[in-house]
Amino acid sequence: AEQTLTRAFSLYPPEVVILDIIQDGIAEMGRRWYAGEATVQQEHFASQLAVRRLKALMSSTPPPTRRGRILVACPPGEEHIIGPLAFALLLRRAGWDVIYLGASVPLDRMEQTVDATTPDVVVLAAQQLHTAGDLLEMAELLNRKDISVAFGGGIFTREPGLRSRVPGHFLGLTLKEAVQQTERLMVKTGPAPTVEGRSDVYEQALSAYLNHQLTLEAEVWQALRGTDLEPEIIRDVSRTFSDSLVTALKFGDIELLDDYVDWMERRNGNDRLSARTLHQVLEAYLRVMKDQLDEYGALIADWLDQWIRRRAEGSTQPE
């Protein structure tokens, strides 16, 4: 693998290797992992190899030659950095002053970071539904400070409706397009697009869930203790469902949980998670929601109830 990349860099400019070999290769590895054709170990090996090469190139870029500063970061919990790292590298090679913060930047430190670095544009990237919720909060914080925000990532490709709910400039579907759009923003920054607000129903459901979140998760844990599910599997599914639920409520669209379910079911066959496991955890959540959140949790309970009913009707049979 190392020899292959070394040969590629000797034959082509770094931009070609980044866009047409590393990016496409990692994307193909991800598709194979989802299809059960590649192991987690193979996916991690390929990703770490790509990250090492990209970081080595980043450290060797010359000083910036263009005015203006760009800050690139991932929201809390977002560990997928190949896209943002390659993006930052391409901008640096184009002469821009880029500060790359990497994975999982704490929300409560972003304001301090921005004050210290004074960027002209902050670029945020999220690949998963639950990290898009924190990206939204970051974008709102930066907008209150009158800082231009741009964003992208896999979740905004899978769920196009999310783009109109983030107060920032969507950078497009490809890495090349994202670089071009960012360069345009650096030349002429326009006002952030107007976003849709959450309805009162979603505000109430979000507030109620956050106020009871720890209790709800503890109750779900207790409800599943007597089953044959392994404790770490319960924690994994419960945590990711809870995070995705909060994000769906933040964006004002409970149907975004369908993305979570699709993602979890795609994992079936790649680890110990099964469709039956997911079904058991969400059934437990439904029982607990009805007991704890009364009318404010109706929005959530209705989605859970409909999903479980579709299962029972055979649309996606549990194992």
Beta strands (DSSP E) in the chain are 69-73, 97-102, 121-125, 148-152, 169-170
Residues in the chain: 319
Q: Are 265 and 275 in contact (CB under 8 A)?
A: yes
pTM (predicted TM-score):
0.85
Reported as a single tens digit per residue, the pLDDT across 135-168 is: 999 999 999 888 999 999 989 988 898 998 999 9
Q: Does the pLDDT of residue 123 top 50, yes or no? A: yes
What would the mean pLDDT of 62-77 be, rounded to a whole number? 94
Q: Are 259 and 158 in contact (CB under 8 A)?
A: yes
pLDDT at 266: 63
Q: How confident is the model at residue 175 (pLDDT cuts 50, 70, 90)?
A: very high
Buried b (16+ CB within 10 A) or exposed e, 219-229: bbeebbeeeeb
Q: Are 209 and 246 in contact (CB under 8 A)?
A: yes
